[in-house]
């Protein structure tokens, strides 16, 4: 039987999952679209990940499009766009705004306790551990792709991280979107001209599952600078949902991170460092060979090392994560290599993630020297 402390730690994860259940109906309605819609897809879509659509009345924010220099080696897009990170205006932000902390009333505490559902924690935890291996992408998914490569995938995900940050979306949305992209690429060959469309559609679906107020389809058209139409997005959404057999809500690293970092007793700086390592893993295709809980555990173990914890991987963490230090070592070493490369190049061509974790809100962990 789990101890009371285990229940307390893990119940935080369960409570967090009760906040975003409103999106399932929206995606279920897409099943009807797949069956009933007769869409004439526009075929003359412009090139590349940051292609510009014709007859656009206004352009997308410059910093929601990957840096042109990072794209010139994989697309035909000329490197003529200038970045206006400080001047760009964005469509309305989604998600919860930061509010000053107030005292929690007794009633709020009671409701929070009810939502924690301690009695279900062991079953839910067991469920996500048992199901995580069933919905993984192929580690060698690029072997079947003929027109895209791992670097293009990395650029796409780095751009989606910036979109995610500017729209204030939940971490679960980002991790689910990447899972959908990789599972879709494991089954369908994609041209480089359509890769950004796959990323936008995956984020569109993920946000409808995880967000209370997800961005609308017109926002996604705007984000990609009208390189794709509304019909393109809806058609690809139907294709993606059908290809994945509507298996959308699957365990991702975000589902394991909250309760494992609490079990690891991370403070704010430590938590930001572990998140930085975890999101660096999203960019690198080498991480696909590991299960989500394994990557989360390796990121936490590496963060313990970097923060010079006296015990790198305590017995309690072995029990909670179901992984020993020895089994996590190869993944942790790869994450360290990715981190050192990112810090040495200050992000290099992939600026979004490095800038995200160089902010004061995230304790500038990307700038730390270890």
Examine the pLDDT at 47 and tell me if it is beyond 50.
no
Q: How many domains does the chain have?
A: 2
Q: Are residues 239 and 306 both part of a single domain?
A: no
Dihedral (C-alpha) 26, 27, 31, 37: value to the nearest 10 degrees?
Answer: 60
If we measure between CA atoms, which residue out of 308, 307, 369 comes closest to residue 344? 369
Supply the CATH number for residue 312's domain. 1.10.472.10
Q: Which residues of 30-40 are buried (b: 16+ CB within 10 A; e: fewer)?
A: beeeeeeeeee
What is the structure's pLDDT at 253?
Answer: 96
In a domain, 6, yes or no: no
Contact 282, 229 (CB under 8 A): no
Q: Are residues 186 and 320 both part of a single domain?
A: no
Tokens linked to 103: 């005292």
Q: What is the pLDDT of residues 82-123, one digit of tens each?
A: 333 333 344 444 444 333 444 555 656 555 566 667 788 788
In a domain, 232, yes or no: yes
Q: What is the pLDDT of residues 253-291, one digit of tens each?
A: 999 999 999 999 999 999 999 999 999 999 999 999 999
| Interatomic CA distance for residues 109 and 103, integer angstroms | 10
pTM score of the predicted model:
0.74
- Please tell me the least confidently modeled range out of 57-61, 162-166, 255-259: 57-61
Q: Are residues 221 and 321 both part of a single domain?
A: no
| Interatomic CA distance for residues 282 and 172, integer angstroms | 13
| Interatomic CA distance for residues 275 and 273, integer angstroms | 5
Examine the pLDDT at 251 and tell me if it is beyond 60.
yes
Residue 348: which domain range? 253-367
Q: Are residues 219 and 262 both part of a single domain?
A: no
- Please tell me the least confidently modeled range out of 26-35, 317-326, 350-359: 26-35
In a domain, 102, yes or no: no
Q: How many other CB atoms are there within 10 angstroms of residue 271's CB atom?
A: 20
- Of residues 326 and 43, the one with the higher pLDDT is 326
What is the structure's pLDDT at 123?
Answer: 87
């Amino acid at each position: 039987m789990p101890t009371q402390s285990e229940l307390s730690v893990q119940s935080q994860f369960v409570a967090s999952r009760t906040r975003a259940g409103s999106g399932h109906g929206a995606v279920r309605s897409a099943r009807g679209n797949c069956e009933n819609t007769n869409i004439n897809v526009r075929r003359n879509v412009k090139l590349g990940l940051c292609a510009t659509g014709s007859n656009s009345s206004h352009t997308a924010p410059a910093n929601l499009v990957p840096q042109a220099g990072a794209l010139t080696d994989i697309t035909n897009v000329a490197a003529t766009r200038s970045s206006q990170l400080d001047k760009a205006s964005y469509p309305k932000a989604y998600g919860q705004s930061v509010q000053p902390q107030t005292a929690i009333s007794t009633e709020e505490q009671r409701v929070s306790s009810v939502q924690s559902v301690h009695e279900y924690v062991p079953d839910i935890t067991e469920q996500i551990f048992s199901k995580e291996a069933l919905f993984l992408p192929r580690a060698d998914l690029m072997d079947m792709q003929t027109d895209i490569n791992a670097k293009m995938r990395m650029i796409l995900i780095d751009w989606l991280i910036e979109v995610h940050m500017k729209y204030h979306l939940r971490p679960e949305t980002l991790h689910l979107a990447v899972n959908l992209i990789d599972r879709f690429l494991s089954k369908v060959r994609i041209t480089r001209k359509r890769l950004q469309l796959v990323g936008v559609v995956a984020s569109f679906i993920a946000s409808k599952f995880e967000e209370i107020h997800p961005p609308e389809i017109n926002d996604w058209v705007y984000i990609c600078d009208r390189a794709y139409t509304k019909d393109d997005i809806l058609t690809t959404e139907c294709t993606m949902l059908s290809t994945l057999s509507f298996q959308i809500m699957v365990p991702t690293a975000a589902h394991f991170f909250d309760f494992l970092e609490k079990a690891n007793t991370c403070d704010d700086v430590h938590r930001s460092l572990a998140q930085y390592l975890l999101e660096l893993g999203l960019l690198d295709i080498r991480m696909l060979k590991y299960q989500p809980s394994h990557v989360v555990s390796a990121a936490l173990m590496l963060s313990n090392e970097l923060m010079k914890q006296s015990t790198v991987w305590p017995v309690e963490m072995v029990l909670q994560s179901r992984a020993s230090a020895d089994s996590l070592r190869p993944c942790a070493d790869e994450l360290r290599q990715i981190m050192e490369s990112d810090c040495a190049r200050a992000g290099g061509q992939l600026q979004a993630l490095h800038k995200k974790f160089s902010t004061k809100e995230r304790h500038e962990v990307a700038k730390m020297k270890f």
